[in-house]
Structure 1
Amino acid sequence: MNSIVKLLCLLLLFSIVVACSASTNSNKHIPKESQWLTVANYINGEIIEISVDKQIKQVKLLSLQLPEHLALGARGEEYSAAATKLIKTELQSSEQVKLTFDEQPMNSDGVLEAIVELKNGKILNELLLIQGLAKVHIEEPNVKMENKYKKLEQSAKQLQRGIWETELDHLVDAIPLKKIVDSRFELEVDKQKQTVYISNTSSHDIDLDGWKLVSVKDNQTYTFHEYTLPAHSTVQLISGKEAIKNSLPNVIVWEADHIWHLSDADPAELYTHNNELVSVWEDQ
């Protein structure tokens, strides 16, 4: 019996070592986010190639679907060509790019999924959304850019740019515009104290499970988990180095530093679990 137990322990240990080794090797294929990388080639609507340590890596634009993958009818080729032209022009002008990743940097095909920053400071992913030449496509666990990208998409739709032109509207699975649907909430931010105050002014307790508080400037998001905000009460979300965990029921620590910009406008938005905007704090 002891021999069987020892064998099982050895097999478990071996599995852990193999898993750790695989994780380490996988990380070696992920370029550093702070470095400029040379653009080697542009393959198609959503894949570019970069040079990393003399190796060529494929990069997919994070959280986007380009026109060639959408049902756009007869004018689909026109929008695909426009997206291709924009990408090629920007990459040729920039020559180098910086990559930023979400929770899962590489997909199952071994292709990096990234936010692509150009030398002029613009973000290629965002340029395509602004021009209406891409659609937001969120796949968990990479949800970092969901709120920001959907806003850019909604703006392009309102301006009827690219794929969002009126005659194509019925062909595209459009994301409904977010509207403030609940006046029971008051939202206020004290940026100096890095503290957000969310008040429930109604006479009913409200379940905030899955709701999101967003710092708009850098699209930083706090997601509530199994939290109920009692009637006529306020919850505080505290971040920064001075934030201290405690047992008070009306205080939550947002475990991140410098959420709210002191010198730049940084509005706050509160969303339901269905991504409906319920309250806004405008930073004047």
Structure 2
Amino acid sequence: MGKKFFSFVVAIFMLWGCSAEESGQSKNIKGMEATVVHVVDGDTIDVQLKDGRKERVRMLLIDTPETKHPRLGVQPFGPEASDFTKNVLYQKQVVLEMDVSERDKYGRLLAYVWLENENVNRKLLEQGLARVAIFPPDIKYLDEFEKVQEEARQSKRGIWSLEDYVHDRGFQDSPKTTGEASKKDRDGCDIKGNINSKKEKIYHLPDGQYYDSVIPEMWFCSEAEAENAGFRPSKR
């Protein structure tokens, strides 16, 4: 009887260990402890470290649809991804696990975010609220993440429920947020509104030097309308 009970206990622990490994959980995550103080969007959060410093963190190996992009606007499943991250992480104690790179070109920390031994990056993929985004050399969980993504794709969860929405560089523009769609809804409005790399809002008239090369975020029917929206005229 004692041997049978011992064998049963061993089997249970072995099964638990396999389940933890398959789900991406780990009891020995090494990283920085932090408190999530703000959720920017689905894959970006603000945290306060134990020493009091505040840092912006970009989750590694995933990409969620946009909610605040100056050109793309709000993409399908962007708000759902943002809400998921907020509900799961806001004001929670987390561990930030680094990979090879410490920061991206914007100065944000790059990390896998762990909450109570669960990888939140992975959870977003499971829910169909993120795609795998590969930026070597930070690929520690790539094989695992791609497997989870494929399961979500096969099940048509979230972003995978929309045909041809996900591509290698991100997500297709929502028809409601593209400049071309806006133009079709407003025939005769041919002034292009563009936001450049310096975040300057500039409008371009049809006879302007850069008009043909500009990809519009918005279309306007008059210069007054463009200026009321905060755009200035192009200098050429």
* TM-score bracket for this pair, using the shorter chain length: 0.5 to 0.7
In structure 2, the partner of 1:45 is 42
For each residue in 1:128-175, what CA deviation from the matched residue of structure 2 results, as whole angstroms up to 9, or x when unmatched? 00011000001111121211111110000000000101xx2323227x
Counterpart secondary structure, 2:54: strand
**Structure 2: how far apart are the matches of 1:67 and 1:79?**
6
Query: Does the 8 A contact of 2:98 with 2:112 survive in 1?
Result: yes
- Which of 160, 166, 174 is 1:164 aligned to? 160
How much has 1:78 moved relative to structure 2? 4.3
Counterpart in 1 of 2:95?
98
Aligned-residue offset at 1:35 = 4.4
Gaps of 5+ in 2: 1-28, 68-73, 169-236
User: 1:87 aligned to 2:89?
Assistant: no
In structure 1, the partner of 2:121 is 125
Aligned amino acid, residue 87 of structure 1? T
Cα deviations by residue, 1:4-32 (Å, 9 ceiling, x for unpaired): xxxxxxxxxxxxxxxxxxxxxxxxxxxx9
What TM-score, normalized by structure 1, do the two folds share? 0.44
Residue identity in the other structure for 2:97: T
Distance 1:42 1:171 in 2: 24
CA distance in 2, matches of 1:108, 1:33: 24
Match of 1:63 in 2: 61
Give, in whole Å, the separation in 1 of the partners of 2:155 and 2:142: 20
Percent identity reads 31
Larger RCO of the pair (alpha carbons < 8 Å, separation 6+) = 2
Q: Distance in 2 between matches of 1:35 and 1:172?
A: 32
Does 2:52 match 1:54? Answer: yes
User: What does residue range 216-255 of structure 1 map to in structure 2 within 5 Å?
Assistant: none
Aligned counterpart, 2:227: none
Partner of 2:194: none
Q: Decide whether the 8 Å contact of 2:42 with 2:84 is kept in 1.
A: no
The 8 Å contact of residues 93 and 115 in structure 2, kept in 1 or not, is answered as yes
1:146 alignment partner in structure 2: 142
Retained in 1: the 8 A contact 2:159–2:165? no
Partner of residue 230, structure 2: none
Q: 1-side partners of 2:94 and 2:119: how far apart?
A: 9
CA distance in 2, matches of 1:173, 1:78: 14
Runs of 4+ more than 3 Å apart: 32-35
- SS state of the match for residue 68, structure 1? coil
TM-score, structure 2 length as denominator?
Answer: 0.52
One-letter amino acid of the structure 2 residue matched with residue 141 of structure 1? P
Distance in 1 of aligned mates of 2:95 and 2:45: 13
1:110 maps to what in 2? 107
Between the two proteins, the alignment pairs up a number of residues equal to 135
Structure 1, unaligned runs of 5 or more: 1-31, 70-75, 175-284
Q: CA RMSD in A?
A: 2.4
